[in-house]
Amino acid sequence: MATKRSRRTAIVLAVIAALVVVALASGLSKAFADRDATAVAAIDGAHVEQVMEPRDFARFGSPIARDFGVTPSGAIVFQASGRLRVIDRASRISEVVLAGVAPDSFSLDPRGTMLTVADGYFGTLNESGQIVPAIPLPYRDAHLAPSVHEGATYLFGGSPGHYRLYRFIDDGTFQVVLESEEPIVAAADNAKMTFAATATAILRIKAHTPEVLFKTPADGFAGPIQSLAVTADGIVLFATDTKVYALLGTNALSIVNNAGGSLRLRDGVLYVLDPARRLLFSIHPASAQLFSEDAK
């Protein structure tokens, strides 16, 4: 009788042990999957900080727009499911209350003012949440990119064979910076230079004259180019949908191997918004120091 009871106990314990093993395996599998979903494979010497992960973005739905901006206080403004959100340095997320629909494109100037493209007009977002139209645009698909200069921003768009990059100055004037036969996809500057990108090229613009710094190779490149940034000390950074590169001379060095999307620079920190992987993260130092021996 005792033997039968011992056998039953042994069987029950074996079943429990098997269930524990399955549960542990399932938990480990989920942990590895979560790690893989949020992992950022960056160059040695880069300090990566996660700002938002897929589970954070899941609260807001899709689509996640490519435009985003960083305020002087380090808060990040992004757009998901047609609404503007803000995540501050304490990871608190709030919504920008708008009087109407969200802008088609936006950027933040160095003071944190939101500049907008909406309903075919260039304008600003005021403190009441209203988009104030200022200047009618010649095309409705215009996009904005921030400038490091006070009172300036970049605007680009156009039609087949006739694309333009403008610099807007807050005295109300537009300056044509670049004319291109290819669509312009991004623009950026530092205190000294202006840069622009098409899907296949990075250009430096001096005295309204473009100089091609980089052309995407025909094979083995994770293109097309989607976004652009330039550090204070002149390192050009650009991204495709799946990678982030630094342009060193004529060579593109991958600094992030498994994430891409949109880039923004603020106070020596590079911010990366990857709508496909639903990641928002930062990298520093965003300067030549990243490639020095001391940083490795």
Q: What are the tens digits of pLDDT across the range 260-271? A: 999 999 999 999
pLDDT at 291: 86
| Structure-token match 């949440």, residue found | 129
Is 259 a domain residue?
Answer: yes
Query: Would you say residue 151 lies in a domain?
Result: yes
108 domain-assigned: yes
Outline where the chain has alpha helix (H).
Answer: 2-38, 54-57
Beta bridge partners of 34: none
The enclosing domain of 74 has a CATH number of 2.120.10.30
Residues contacting 147, CB < 8 A, separation 6+: 109, 110, 153, 154, 167, 189
The pLDDT-based confidence of 170 (bands split at 50, 70, 90) is confident
SS3 167: strand
For the chain, the domain total comes to 1
pTM: predicted TM-score of the whole model, two decimal places: 0.86
Instruction: Identify whether 231 is part of a domain.
Output: yes
Does the residue 240 lie in any domain?
yes
Closest CA to 261 of 127, 119, 63: 63
Beta-sheet strand order (sheet of 227-230): 227-230, 236-239, 244-248, 251-256
Show the domain range for 50.
41-295
Say if 206 falls within a structural domain.
yes
- Residue 68's alpha-carbon distances to 61, 80, 148, 246, in angstroms, are 16, 10, 15, 21
What is the torsional sign of CA 135, 120, 168, 164?
A: negative
Average pLDDT score over residue span 160-183: 90
Does the pLDDT at position 238 exceed 80?
Answer: yes
198 belongs to a structural domain:
yes
Q: Is residue 6 part of a domain?
A: no
What pLDDT, in 10s, does the model give residues 57-108? 999 988 999 999 999 999 999 999 999 999 999 999 999 999 988 999 999 9
Residue 223's pLDDT is what? 78
pLDDT at 185: 97
What was the pLDDT predicted at 140? 77
| SS3 of residue 146 by DSSP | strand
What sections of 52-163 are H helices per DSSP?
Answer: 54-57
Q: pLDDT band at residue 273, thresholds of 50, 70 and 90?
A: very high
Q: Write down the pLDDT at residue 104.
A: 95
